[in-house]
Structure 1
Amino acid sequence: MGYEYIALLMFSSMMLLLLTGKRVFGAIGFVAVCAAFLLWGQGGSEMAFSAAMKLMKWYPLLTLPLFVFMGYMLSESGLAEDLYRMFHVWMGPLPGGLALGTIGLMVAISAMNGLSVAGMAIGASIALPELLRRGYNKIMVTGVIQAGSSLGILIPPSVVLVLYGMIARQPVSQLWLAGVFPGLLMATLFALYVVIRCWRNPSLGPAMPMVERQTISRREKLLLLKAGIAPLFIFFCMTGLFLLGYTSLVESSAVGALAATFTALVKGRLTREVMENTLRKSLGITCMFMWIILAALCFGAVFDGLGAVQAIEMLFLDRLSLSPWEVLILMQLSFIVMGMFLDDTAMLVIVAPLYIPLVGSLGFDLIWYGILYTITCQIAYITPPFGYNLFLMRAMAPPEVSLRDIYISVFPFVLVMILALALVMIFPQIALWLPQSYYGAATG
């Protein structure tokens, strides 16, 4: 059996195990270790140990638990609730204003935690019940929260872009800057969709009643603006110091975690229960990341040993005679398919050994491709039937929101994301202008 067929057998076996409901890291690691042992005997069986040692020496991985801790500290301490109250009061008088405020909340949360899970938890627990209570269309607002929470993996400090930077050997600072305009573009397109829908049918997002508006004084509205100071403080302490060159990537994640904890302490929210819940959830998510990366490193080592990258390149370019753009589009489509039953981290570490060298050999910019990959992950996250965010929403949503409602709600936002993806593909400078301008000026 040729090596290309062995690689195909490994990949299909892994997918089959995943479809049976096995743990992601278990399926990936099992296939990798078995293939290594069968191909190279006793020496191959040590690949898993080598992958574990490589992971333990991977210093930048220290950013993961710190970014995760920061996100959960914001959620558990109630700082996100303050933000939502501010958006509620200031945008509530507009038709669909609370939905627009929810998108604003998601952008702010994304700029502080870098994960979609934290955004989904905050949106589903804080925003969704309030939106439903005020008569907003449940399908529209469910889609808003699912799509808005996905911004966490694109807007800096994105944990996914940190992982991509480690694996692709690309500077994380440039990836973070490259994600700013595409993330804001996507949030703007979400907001435009809500505005157009509510303009055509105001009953989908009724404005705040006049009686309630009159009970909120101008002084109270101005005081609520203070809720925006904490996110700006945390964002500057973390991302600002990193981009200015005062801290390294790992140091910036530590600064962000400390800033979030300090903010909770100053506001009197840092209780023992908050700290305990934050630590427990952070540990659970971090361990999940570590196990997946460990298994995927072993899987990637076997794939690399088989020469799978060269085999795929020959298949696409020589046998099928595809153009570089056709190959790129096929890779993006494969991410969407995998995203139906894998999370973004698993997708990245499984296919990175295959796709990243291929993208480079095709002549594409790896910073730009990192943004394309991340946007495609966002699409995959909310694409039925097994999109990751769909089931998170089902677990957190009130009983009146059915799984059918959740499935229907995402389709307009999937189309908006595809539009954003197409714009970034057609106009690469949407992603590349900011990092090129910033680092060009810094080195000029």
Structure 2
Amino acid sequence: MNHNLIALLMFSSMMLLLLTGKRVFGAIGFVAAAAALMLWGDGGVELPFSAAMKLMKWYPLLTLPLFVFMGYMLSESGIADDLYRMFHVWMGPVNGGLAIGTVSLMVVISAMNGLSVAGMAIGASIALPELLRRGYDKIMVTGVVQAGSSLGILIPPSVVLVLYGMIARQPVGQLWLAGALPGLLMATLFVLYITVRCYFNPALGPALSVEERQQISWKEKFSLLRAGIVPLLIFFCMTGLFLMGYTSLVESSAVGAGSALLAALFKGRLTAKVMEETLRKTLGITCMFMWIILAALCFGAVFDGLGAVKAIENLFIGEMGLSPWQILILMQLSFVVMGMFLDDTAMLVIVAPLYVPLVGSLGFDLIWYGVLYTITCQIAYLTPPFGYNLFLMRAMAPPEVTLRDIYASVTPFVLIMLLTLGLVMKFPEIALWLPRLNYGG
């Protein structure tokens, strides 16, 4: 059988298994292992074994459980609750201020977690009920929580960028720095959108009443500012020391996890229940990503052996005559379409063996492309019918927020994400300036 047909059969078999609801790592790993055995016989067993050894020897992967632990420790210990109370008091007097404070909270949580799940849990359980109680438009604020939580996979430390770095064999430190400015740019655009909408229509986000503002003394306001000191110290210890060259990437993740643990201890919130929940969730997320990376490495090795990447390159450039930018835009469109049905890790594992080598051969920077991929994942998170954050919000939202409200709420934020994607594509320095400043080149 022609190798191109074998590659097509592998791809279609994997998609079929995923559409049946099988776990991502199981579907991808099974197809890769079965294809390896059928193509190369007993020698094919070396592929998954080599992939496992490569995974176990990849030292930066230690950052994954440490950053996840840090995020869940801050969430479970209630430090995130303190942060929202601070934003609530200081931003409440402004129209739309609580929604702006929610976006700010999501930025801080993203800078300490690396996953959208924790941001969504905090936003849906703490911010959303408070916003609805104060008369905020339910469609707007539902979109705010969903879009804000998606920042966790772009603003460092991003677990998704760790996964991309492993599969694309790119330095995670540079990927994190590349995601920082685009993430902050997107958050700023969210804030501008909320500000403008609430300026022209104050009923969407009413300010705190004069009576309620008078009940909060300036002493209490300044006291609440202390809630922001702990996250800032943790972020400085984790990221600041890394950027200044005092700690390595793995060491900075250990500093972050240790700082979060000490913060919970000093606040008297490090209970047995908090520790149990944090460890359980950390273990679950870490194991999931480990299995997915293992399956991705095995699948990519089989694809490389078949020469499928070269065949795709010849198809686009040789036979279709497309320019590098046309090919890149087609790739991003395919991510958006797949994101309607698959999560970010499934998308990356499916297309990385094809897209990453092709992007490199077209002359594009793989660090920059990692940011494009991550922004597209954010768009996919909010894209009906099967956006990841849509289902998380449906599970966590109060009864008065319907599925129709959830779908309607994401449209303006998806447009903002598309604008950010276009800006980063047009001006690559938005993503590449910080890595080049810190690492040279």
Q: Which TM-score band (shorter chain)? A: over 0.9
Given that 2:62 and 2:250 are in contact with CA atoms closer than 8 Å, whether structure 1 keeps it comes out as yes
Q: Distance in 2 between matches of 1:357 and 1:31?
A: 21
Q: Deviations over 1:2-36 (max 9, x none)?
A: 21121112111111111111111111111111211
Identify which range, 37-46 or 287-296, moves more after superposition: 37-46
Q: Distance in 2 between matches of 1:167 and 1:49?
A: 16
Q: Deviations over 1:261-291 (max 9, x none)?
A: 1111111111111000000111111111111
Letter in 1 for 2:268: G
TM-score, length basis structure 1: 0.97
Letter in 2 for 1:331: M
Give the fraction of aligned pairs with identical amino acids, expressed as a percent: 82
Q: Distance in 2 between matches of 1:338 and 1:357?
A: 20
Q: Compute the displacement of 1:298 (Å).
A: 1.2
Correspondence for 2:44: 44
Tell me, yes or no, if structure 1 residue 139 matches structure 2 residue 125: no
SS of residue matched to 1:322: coil
Correspondence for 2:193: 193
Correspondence for 2:398: 398
Q: Deviations over 1:64-113 (max 9, x none)?
A: 11111111001100000000000000000111110000000000101111
Structure 1 gap segments, 5+ residues each? none
Given that 1:91 and 1:98 are in contact with CA atoms closer than 8 Å, whether structure 2 keeps it comes out as yes
Correspondence for 2:371: 371
After TM superposition, list the pairs within 5 Å mapping 1:20-419 onto structure 2. Answer: 20-419=20-419
Q: Deviations over 1:196-222 (max 9, x none)?
A: 211221111111111100000111111
Identify which range, 209-218 or 162-171, moves more after superposition: 162-171
Q: Distance in 1 between matches of 2:113 and 2:107?
A: 10
Letter in 2 for 1:307: G
Q: Compute the displacement of 1:361 (Å).
A: 0.9
Q: Distance in 2 between matches of 1:323 and 1:207?
A: 51
Structure 2 gap segments, 5+ residues each? none
Q: CA 1:438 to 1:290, structure 2 compared with 1: closer, same or farther past 3 Å?
A: closer
Equivalent pairs counted in the alignment come to 441
Letter in 2 for 1:11: F
Correspondence for 1:13: 13
Given that 1:18 and 1:341 are in contact with CA atoms closer than 8 Å, whether structure 2 keeps it comes out as no
Q: Distance in 2 between matches of 1:220 and 1:119?
A: 26
Correspondence for 2:429: 429
Q: Distance in 2 between matches of 1:172 and 1:20?
A: 33
SS of residue matched to 2:410: helix
Q: Deviations over 1:374-416 (max 9, x none)?
A: 1111111111111111111111111111111111111111000
Q: Deviations over 1:310-354 (max 9, x none)?
A: 011011111111100011011111222222233223322332222
Given that 2:72 and 2:278 are in contact with CA atoms closer than 8 Å, whether structure 1 keeps it comes out as yes
Q: Deviations over 1:137-188 (max 9, x none)?
A: 1111111111101111111111122222233232222222221211111001
Identify which range, 187-196 or 37-46, moves more after superposition: 37-46
Given that 2:167 and 2:297 are in contact with CA atoms closer than 8 Å, whether structure 1 keeps it comes out as no
Given that 1:293 and 1:346 are in contact with CA atoms closer than 8 Å, whether structure 2 keeps it comes out as no
SS of residue matched to 1:62: helix
Q: Deviations over 1:220-244 (max 9, x none)?
A: 1111111111111111111111111
Given that 1:136 and 1:203 are in contact with CA atoms closer than 8 Å, whether structure 2 keeps it comes out as yes
Letter in 2 for 1:337: V
Letter in 1 for 2:277: N
Q: Distance in 2 between matches of 1:229 and 1:370?
A: 32
Identify which range, 313-322 or 167-176, moves more after superposition: 167-176
Correspondence for 2:439: 439
Q: Distance in 2 between matches of 1:176 and 1:47?
A: 30
Q: Distance in 1 between matches of 2:172 and 2:13?
A: 33
Tell me, yes or no, if structure 1 residue 2 matches structure 2 residue 6: no
Letter in 2 for 1:139: I
Given that 2:243 and 2:438 are in contact with CA atoms closer than 8 Å, whether structure 1 keeps it comes out as no
Letter in 2 for 1:235: F
TM-score, length basis structure 2: 0.97
Q: Compute the displacement of 1:437 (Å).
A: 2.6
Q: Distance in 1 between matches of 2:352 and 2:256?
A: 28
Q: Distance in 1 between matches of 2:15 and 2:108?
A: 36
Q: Distance in 2 between matches of 1:250 and 1:358?
A: 30
Identify which range, 63-72 or 428-437, moves more after superposition: 428-437
